[in-house]
């Protein structure tokens, strides 16, 4: 590395606490197995004044998933031998059940259980442990797509895998991880920290902002193979060094994790065995992010350059963006920027995607950019000179005389969006609307209540986990509304729920199809 590039990297590292402010954080940079940066700052526990150091234990959140899959492949090189175990844990499921590989690749078709928990009325930050998880998973009756045909992020895919490993191997999942992964990679302090209420060394995760202040985040969810990993920066450095040291061995843990993955139709999949395959600055990369309430992390490995970046925040700043900032400095590249001179397209507006039934809202987002509200969270797309819009994640929108086409290759989805009818004035305000009532989902045995409260529409869920709060509904199109979910059990919330109301021949509302990107296609009938 040249002196100039090393100085630039150092400036970027030193800027992280200000660019992404919060109680504390840590970053590591490696090249060819050599540690170039090992740096921590701030406080692991601001109240107790415990410094954040490279040895501080940290909740790695969804980075856990690759470790679960590493243990899976080490114990069962052919995961399909566990397909019957998966089926046994879905006793009510009708039709084809996903296999173990489908789970590991997020191609199972299962609806995410912490999203479904909100439909069962789980209050924000309520306890969610083994019993609650088993009830939600075991109650599955249908899938949202045929296994292997699509990608959708689903946490319980990896919880199921860890539960199966534990039962098959006759030892705790914590022991499975220690024997099969942590000891092999030289991660002495890594552990399964399933109970999210506290870390052994007192480290706290925080929510809030520099402007509004920070407070310790309340976590009451028990995570296992999906998000239970606790590890220090030094542990993660050991993982990155293990990856690089075994890079030429196709039978290494990471070599098997990064083997090519495809969908049932043969299309290449960008996600497999708990890892995302991507291109960063035109170079192949593998990695994953992690997020629970109060915690954000991200790791990347570029095999061609033998480079690794790990970022850990015990607050809610964007660790992925920080990792890309560091990687850009390491590669001497510039982050791409939108062209502010490109005009907004004439196809902005509200649509529905026919396969998922979800709304797709396309909005302006500043010079040269638009915002798409469809997936788990809003996405920014840069306008292109050919009139399309796209982002680094692969999402692409294109308008033509035939309509708007949306491509999401990571999900194996290419679709033409259906324009949504404009919202009548009286419906937008709720006055004169006939949507208020009680709706029941037979599959979930759960209820949606829609209320006209003084001329304004609200909605809320209830079920065996309790009664969720009533939320102000947002009109999208005629008979299509969004129920916002700004807070949930943990992590970022599942996103806006699309409520698509149905009417009978007489024009009266008879039911609603409900879903979000993590949990789609649930039918509710009107019962009151």
For the chain, the helix, strand and coil percentages under 3-state DSSP, each to the nearest 5: 25, 35, 45
Find how far residue 467's CA is from the centre of its chain: 25
Per the residue annotation, which of 62, 162, 297, 317 is the catalytic one? 62
Torsion of CA 326, 321, 190, 248, to 10 degrees: -60
Instruction: Look at the alpha carbons of 164, 165, 168, 173 in this order and tell me if their dihedral is positive or negative.
Output: negative
Our separate counts of H helices and E strands in the chain read 13, 31
Task: Select which of 65, 308, 317, 359 is catalytic.
Answer: 65
Does residue 62 carry a catalytic annotation?
Answer: yes
Helices (H), 302-362: 319-331
User: Closest by alpha carbon to 483, among 494, 468, 499, 467?
Assistant: 499
The whole-angstrom separation of Cα 274 and Cα 289 is 10
H/E stretch holding 57 = none
Furthest-apart CA atoms within the chain: distance in Å: 76
The residue whose two tokens read 């002196």 is: 3
Rounded to whole angstroms, how far apart are CA atoms 429 and 120? 28
Burial class (CB in 10 A: 0-12, 13-18, 19+), 291: buried
| Cβ(334)–Cβ(325) below 8 Å | no
Catalytic residues: 62, 65
């Amino acid at each position: 590395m040249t002196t100039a590039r090393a100085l630039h990297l150092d400036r970027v590292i030193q800027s992280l606490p200000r660019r992404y402010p919060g109680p504390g954080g840590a970053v590591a940079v490696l090249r060819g197995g050599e540690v170039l940066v090992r740096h921590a700052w701030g406080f692991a526990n601001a109240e107790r004044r415990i410094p954040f150091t490279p040895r501080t234990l940290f909740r790695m959140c969804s980075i856990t998933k690759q470790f679960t899959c590493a243990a899976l492949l080490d114990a069962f090189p052919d995961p399909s031998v566990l397909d019957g175990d998966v089926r046994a844990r879905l006793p009510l499921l009708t039709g084809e059940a996903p296999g173990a590989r489908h789970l590991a690749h997020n191609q199972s078709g299962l609806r995410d259980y912490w999203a479904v928990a909100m439909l069962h009325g789980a209050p924000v930050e309520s306890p969610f442990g083994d019993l609650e998880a088993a009830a939600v998973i075991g109650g599955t009756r249908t899938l949202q797509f045929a296994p292997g045909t699509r990608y959708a992020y689903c946490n319980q895919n990896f919880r199921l895998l860890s539960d199966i490993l534990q039962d098959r191997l006759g030892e705790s999942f914590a022991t499975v991880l220690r024997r099969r992964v942590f000891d092999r990679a030289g991660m002495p302090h890594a552990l399964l920290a399933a109970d999210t209420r506290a870390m052994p060394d007192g480290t706290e995760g925080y929510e809030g902002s520099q402007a509004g202040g920070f407070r310790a985040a309340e976590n009451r969810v028990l995570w296992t193979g999906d998000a239970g990993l606790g590890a220090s920066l030094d542990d993660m450095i050991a993982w990155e060094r293990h990856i690089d040291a075994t890079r030429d061995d196709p039978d290494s843990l990471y070599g098997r994790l990064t083997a090519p993955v495809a969908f049932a139709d043969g299309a290449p999949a960008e996600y497999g065995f708990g890892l995302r395959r991507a291109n960063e600055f035109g170079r192949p990369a593998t990695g994953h992010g992690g997020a629970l309430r109060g915690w954000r992390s991200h790791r990347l490995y570029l095999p061609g350059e033998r480079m690794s970046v790990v970022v850990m925040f015990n607050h809610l700043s964007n660790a992925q963006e920080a990792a890309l900032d560091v990687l850009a400095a390491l590669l001497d590249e510039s982050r791409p920027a939108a062209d502010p001179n490109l005009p907004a397209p004439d196809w902005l507006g509200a649509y529905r995607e026919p396969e998922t039934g979800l709304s797709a809202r396309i909005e302006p987002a500043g010079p040269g950019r638009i915002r798409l509200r469809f997936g788990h969270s809003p996405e920014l797309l840069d306008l292109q000179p050919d009139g399309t819009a796209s982002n680094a994640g692969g999402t692409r929108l294109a308008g033509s005389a035939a309509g708007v086409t949306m491509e999401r290759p990571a999900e194996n989805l290419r679709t033409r969006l259906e324009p949504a009818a404009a919202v009548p004035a009286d419906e937008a305000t709720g006055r004169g609307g006939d949507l208020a009532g009680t709706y029941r989902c037979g599959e979930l045995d759960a209820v949606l209540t829609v209320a006209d409260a003084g001329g304004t529409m609200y909605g809320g869920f209830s079920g065996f986990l309790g009664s969720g709060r009533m939320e102000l509904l947002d009109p999208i199109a005629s008979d299509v509304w969004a129920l916002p979910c700004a807070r949930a059990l943990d992590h970022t919330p599942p996103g806006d729920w699309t409520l698509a109301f149905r009417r009978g021949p007489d024009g009266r509302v008879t039911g609603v199809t409900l879903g979000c990107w993590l949990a789609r296609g649930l039918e509710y009938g009107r019962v009151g």
